[in-house]
Amino acid sequence: MVSGISNTGDVRFLTYSGTMTAERFITFLKQLLTTVPGTIFVIVDNCTHPAKDGR
């Protein structure tokens, strides 16, 4: 599962089977862009992903 929370307490999440992939992460970000009005700040851990799209 990947999730996010707004400064007003709204929670957004995406559940999936298997491991996190660049494609899944990009899907989650696109969903945020279409459902959250205003500016979005994304904070991720320092884990690198070997996919070119994830860099």
The whole-number pLDDT of residue 10 equals 87
The whole-number pLDDT of residue 53 equals 61
Number of compact structural domains in the chain: 1
Residues spanned by the domain of 12: 2-54
Between CA 19 and CA 10 the distance in angstroms is: 25
Q: Mean pLDDT over residues 21-37, rounded?
A: 90
pTM, entire model? 0.73
- Asked if 53 contacts 26 with a C-beta cutoff of 8 angstroms, the reply is yes
Query: In this predicted model, which residue has the larger pLDDT, 36 or 51?
Result: 36
Between CA 18 and CA 1 the distance in angstroms is: 10
Between CA 30 and CA 6 the distance in angstroms is: 16
Q: Mean pLDDT over residues 34-49, rounded?
A: 81
